Structure 1
Amino acid sequence: MFARTSRLMLRPAWAEDARVLGNLLADAMICRALWHPVDQGDWVPQPSDPLLPSLLIFERTSGAPRLIGACGLSRRASGALVLKVWIDPAQRGRGFASEACAALLEIAATLGFRQIEAGHEADDPAAAALLGKLGFRSTGLAALPSGKSSKRQVPTNLLRARLCDKREALAA
């Protein structure tokens, strides 16, 4: 699965991306994604559900595209669809996350998903603003992170958005 926006190209990770991706992830500041810690295994090629794409985000340039982040869909143990994204700290504040996530949400709607969740650390107003811009609304729920990559014990706020396909949007 691929997507192209005015400034970005989203595509699956290939084995050739591992070195560049590893270098990006080595930066301790980058290991927060909507905004949870990630590791290279989350984004390198591996067998996966074709309905749950994980895509690298490349900035389109006059030369070779430049890797600046990743976004993807996953499922919680409950079965809920979840949006995940991270952007190289040096590239944040330029609207890349919202552009990439908007393209990914369109893919999710096209795949037939009708609802999606995302989370952000309670002390991250930029992530909260991004999700709000994308149509996510608070569920009123929060949880402390768990798992081996959870180093920060900051509550994560849970948000949810409704997805609609183009037919629904035109009828509204």
Structure 2
Amino acid sequence: MFIRSERLFLRPAWPEDWAELHGAIDDAAVVRNLARAPWPYRPEDARSFVSREPVTRYPDFLVTLPGAEGARIIGCAGIVAAEDGAAELGYWIAREHWGRGYATEAARAVLSVARALGHDRIEASHFLDNPASGRVLRKLGFAPTGEHRPRRSEGRGTVVTSVVYHTRLRGAENGDGGGDGTGGGDREPMRHAA
């Protein structure tokens, strides 16, 4: 599955992507904000990630930035099955690309795929000391649940407090006022190819 947004191209990971992926994520400032990525992030971790079998209902994508030199990997975004069975949004963007709206754009694209796959309620969380991710989630139409959960950070090697959010992907299209994960009037055109 492939997604084209206004500035980005999201695609599956291929085994030959491991070195470029490793170069993008091999940054303690990025990994410390992720739950599942270890630190240090080794070449073997990148090889393992790009070699995983895809799960149709829970897709993840490399976020690439097309340019004159081709499309460079700048991050990753996807939906995973959380421990409690909920669908959970996750994303990261390489530090040199922070502050440009790429996380919001990539996550919005993934939410459109989640809706097409039949997901209704999506959860997301961020570590308490990463409020920038909370701003991204609010732009996407997520609302805080009021819950703070202890969550293991593999990159930090410890449990960290996370702030939990959720959104409904169905409802607004049916006129019942539910959140649609697009941030209200902040919609961006999305072009898909599957």
Give the structure-2-normalised TM-score: 0.79
- Classify 1:31/1:147 alpha carbon distance in 2 versus 1 (closer, same or farther; 3 Å): closer
Structure 1 residue 52 corresponds to structure 2 residue 51? no
Structure 1 residue 74 corresponds to structure 2 residue 73? no
Where does residue 30 of structure 1 map in the other structure?
30
Q: Map Cα deviations across residues 21-52 of structure 1 (whole Å, 9 max, x no partner).
A: 1122222222144x435254574131132111
Where does residue 9 of structure 1 map in the other structure?
9
Q: 1:153 offset after TM fit, Å? A: 4.3
Q: Map Cα deviations across residues 73-96 of structure 1 (whole Å, 9 max, x no partner).
A: 111121100000000011000000
- Unpaired runs of at least 5, structure 2: 39-44, 177-194
Where does residue 162 of structure 2 map in the other structure?
156
Where does residue 139 of structure 1 map in the other structure?
145
Q: 1:140 offset after TM fit, Å? A: 1.1
1:73 corresponds to which letter in structure 2?
A: I
- Classify 1:66/1:148 alpha carbon distance in 2 versus 1 (closer, same or farther; 3 Å): closer
Q: Which moved more, 1:78-87 or 1:20-29?
A: 20-29
Where does residue 62 of structure 1 map in the other structure?
68
Choose which of 128, 138, 153 in structure 1 pairs with 2:134.
128
Matched residue SS, 2:77: strand
- Unpaired runs of at least 5, structure 1: none
CA distance in 2, matches of 1:17, 1:104: 20
Matched residue SS, 1:3: strand
CA distance in 2, matches of 1:63, 1:5: 19
Residues matched between the structures, number: 169
Give the structure-1-normalised TM-score: 0.88
CA distance in 1, matches of 2:50, 2:117: 22
CA distance in 2, matches of 1:27, 1:148: 14
**2:32–2:156 Cα contact (<8 Å) kept:** no
- Classify 1:71/1:43 alpha carbon distance in 2 versus 1 (closer, same or farther; 3 Å): farther
2:79 corresponds to which letter in structure 1?
A: L
The Cα RMSD (Å) is 2.1
Identity, % of aligned positions: 33
Higher relative contact order (CA 8 A, sep 6+): 2
Q: Which moved more, 1:136-145 or 1:94-103?
A: 136-145
